[in-house]
Amino acid sequence: MEKTVNFFYDKKGDILDITIGKSQPAISQEIGDDILIRRHPATNEILGFTILNFELRFTKTKKPYSIPITANFQLQK
């Protein structure tokens, strides 16, 4: 099933939120320092993730950061 990836950045809260597909109820789980994934409560499917202190994290370290999530992407036609 094709799903869009939506990004939202809250500068005041310094939070980057990424949603895969339509927003829906989810269970959050912290998987790293200020990194949360959201999973569907019944299927365990990953629905998105949140990075707290996003700007602070990258302006301080200036290093890439990996999230242990794999994905397959295609350009919509």
Alpha-carbon 47 to chain mean position? 8
CA–CA dist 24, 11 (Å, integer): 23
- Assess contact for 38 and 47: CB atoms under 8 A: yes
Global pTM reads 0.80
User: What tens digit of pLDDT does each residue of 26-66 get?
Assistant: 999 999 889 999 999 999 999 999 999 999 888 877 777 77
Summarize pLDDT for 2-15 with one digit per residue, the tens.
Answer: 788 999 999 999 99
